[in-house]
Chain A
Amino acid sequence: MNWGLTSVSVVRGGGTILEEATLKVSAGEIVAVVGGDGSGKSTLLGVLVGRLGPSAGVARTPARSRIGFLPASSGVYPDLTVLENLRFAAAAYGMPPALAADRIWALLDRTGLTPAAHRLGGRLSGGMRQKLGVARALVHEPDLLILDEPTTGVDPVSRSDVWWLITRETARGCAVVFSTTYLDEAERAGHVVVLQAGRVLTQGPPDGIVAAIPGEVRLFPTRPVGPFVWRRGRSWRVWREDGTGDGTVVRPDLQDAVVLAALRRAAGESLDRTETPR
């Protein structure tokens, strides 16, 4: 089953928050929505989850009962225990108690939260709370899992645990759409949608986005002169469309591709050649 958005725009208070966004996700696939603060990631997820109505375009989603959602705030009740949080979610999704109990204990086991089962949500560490949030979104075995920045502020070990949970669900056939500001994390997805100021900057498989960069990316130890220059760590990179000039030619990665796409959009260049709509 395919879910997603087709040319969805969201206009609020006279301003366009999301413009002509298209996104498709199939069963067992992971789609990353990448963008900076205010780029429209949460709005896009809000339309997908049914919280926001699109001003134009079509959102194709499963029934509410088949969607799992993790809000940016984790959505964990601080004054309920881990177990009570999961039990409430299971009951809200109408799961039979016996089935819910099996599923809850399996998820607690997978997330490593079994020893904290009777601890209050408010007394969990950030990573544990986020894992509980993901477990709660998964308790009813949804067809579409939507995660708003699931690993922001989470330690590396917990991030790894969250990813293990997510990939396990995709093996079951669950479609996953998540937003992130981490490009290394986006590379785990089969398809990446890059948003900037409410518009899709570029999208496609991570390798495809990188491969679609025309010309060459060159590395400089000091800031070179010219347009399309950005910093990576201690060095500088520059993009030359004609493939000429000084510097060492480097193989660009997703981060280079996204930064370059943003620079080219800012320069008013057409991005038709790098976009790979699906």
Chain B
Amino acid sequence: MWAMIVKEFRQMRRDRRTLAMMIVMPVLLLIVFGYAASFDVTSIPVRVVGVHAAEVAGRLPAPFEVTAIASAEDRSDATRALRDGVVPVVVVADADAVTVLLDGSELFTANAARAALARAGAPQVEVLFNPDLRTSAVMVPGLAGMILLFVGTVITSLGVVRERQTGTLEQLAVMPLRPRDVFLGKIAPYFLVAALDLTVVVAAGTLLFGVPFHGSLLVLALGAVLFLFVTLGTGVLISSVSQNQGQAIQLAMMTLLPQVLLSGLIFPLRSMPLGVRWIGYLLPLTYFTQISRGVMLRGAPLTTLWQPFLYLTLLGVAVVTFAMLRFRAFLAPQGARRARRRGVLALAAGSKP
């Protein structure tokens, strides 16, 4: 038995990635659950509109924090502010009544706001976009992103690393295929399967769970395409640094877990400390969740979702470029490319490289 224990320790010591995962994961989970895993919303930004806005704003109790007072605006402006995701709560202080409008797509913030208003004996409260504050309504759009993330990152990384393990990637490297062709050809089927998955999840969410779909299908599709590029690029990137499928799964899980926990999918970003929240801002699922919830629940148009679209595009360009470079380095190693550039590999006259 002793020999077995010693052998296992030796193998464990040499499998640096598994070792790192065993050490990093508990620390990561501790940080995430310690700091980020909180459903408590301690601060709620609120916009106050209407003729008595200034007067009402001064009476709002904690946890409400007035971010703007707009006496000239009315209920329609307030609804637009909620739809555009400017704030999760707007108080409409008209001449005859005070109405508090809550954004139901921000479930935990809306619940916290409603509880605080009830304690303060608030006037009329209306919940928009998810009137019954159903969990399924906010989870299904987020779940769509999680499925895209799973197919795009985990499955893609396995598909590419399988080629490396069977030795067929070496074969591809000597075929007259450009690295770009191999890259795109490799991710295209996963792209289509993920798109099909998204369609099924959105259809099932609306038909079976009654999740509303107020926005444009085209905007959601565009967001999904951008998000998929990031996730597929991450998958290829993971496969390019993994020697086998076990390593690929480990790395994929290490990218998956922070996204699920820190993107606002489960725990509201608003309740996370600023330092942890910033990690969330670097994760693509954060922006896809904002897009899917914005489009499906609030009917937000492209113009108001430009920020998550911009960040997803930037992330997509960065990840796909890096993945392409890594992929290219494997298919045409630098030594061979450099040699071809300086003509060390002399080609036959008249032949094309």
Residues of A within 8 A of B (CB): 1, 3, 10, 12, 49-55, 57-67, 69, 71-78, 89, 92-94, 136
CA distance A53 to B173 in the complex (A): 14
B10 to chain A, nearest CB (A): 24
Could you tell me if A51 and B168 are in contact, using CB atoms closer than 8 angstroms?
Answer: no
A–B complex contacts, Cβ < 8 Å, 21 sampled: A50-B340, A53-B333, A53-B334, A53-B336, A53-B344, A54-B335, A61-B346, A61-B347, A62-B351, A63-B176, A63-B352, A65-B352, A71-B167, A71-B171, A73-B166, A73-B167, A77-B166, A89-B175, A92-B172, A92-B176, A94-B176
Other-chain contact of B353, A3, A64, A94 (Cβ < 8 Å): A64
Whether A63 and B336, one on each chain, are in contact in the complex, defined by CB atoms closer than 8 angstroms, is no
Q: A50-B345, A77-B168 are in contact. Are A92 and B177 (CB under 8 A)?
A: yes
Closest to B171 in A: A75
Check: B337 CB closer than 8 A to any chain A CB.
yes
Contacts A53-B338, A63-B353; A58 near B344 (Cβ below 8 A): yes
Among residues of B, the one whose C-beta sits closest to the C-beta of A50 is B336
Question: What is the minimal beta-carbon distance from A5 to any residue of chain B, in angstroms?
Answer: 10
User: In whole Å, how far is B283's beta carbon from the nearest beta carbon of chain A?
Assistant: 33
Known: A12-B335, A49-B174. 17 other contacts (CB 8 A): A51-B333, A53-B339, A58-B346, A59-B345, A59-B346, A60-B347, A61-B345, A61-B347, A64-B174, A64-B176, A69-B174, A73-B166, A75-B168, A76-B168, A77-B166, A92-B172, A93-B175
Q: Which residues of A contact B172 (CB under 8 A)?
A: 92
B348 at interface, CB cutoff 8 A: yes
> Inter-chain contact count A-B, CB under 8 Å?
94
Which of B151-196 touch A at CB < 8 Å?
Answer: 166-168, 170-177
Q: Is the CB of A71 within 8 A of B346?
A: no
Q: In chain B, residues 304-353, which have Cβ atoms closer than 8 Å to a Cβ of chain A?
A: 333-340, 344-348, 351-353
Contact A53 to B171, CB < 8 A, known contacts A59-B345, A62-B348, A93-B176 = no
- B residues touching A (Cβ–Cβ < 8 Å)? 166-168, 170-177, 333-340, 344-348, 351-353
CA–CA, A1 and B351, complex, Å: 12
Instruction: Report the separation of the CA atoms of residues A66 and B352 in the bound assembly, to the nearest whole angstrom.
Output: 9
CB-based closest 6 A-B pairs: A73-B167, A53-B335, A53-B339, A75-B171, A63-B351, A53-B336
CB distance from B337 to the nearest CB of A (A): 7
Q: Cα distance A1–B352 when bound, in Å?
A: 15
| Bound complex: CA A53 to CA B172 (Å) | 17
**Complex: chain A residue closest to B343, CB-CB:** A58
Determine whether the beta carbon of B336 is less than 8 Å from that of A64. no
Instruction: Among A54, A73, A92, point to the contact of B344 (Cβ < 8 A).
Output: A54
Contact A57 B344 (CB under 8 A): yes
Residue of A nearest to B170 (CB): A71
Q: How far, in angstroms, from A50 to B341 measured CA to CA in the complex? A: 12
Residues of B within 8 A of A61 (CB): 345-348
- Which chain A residues border B176 with CB–CB below 8 Å? 63-65, 92-94
Contact check, B166 vs A52: say whether CB atoms are below 8 A apart.
no
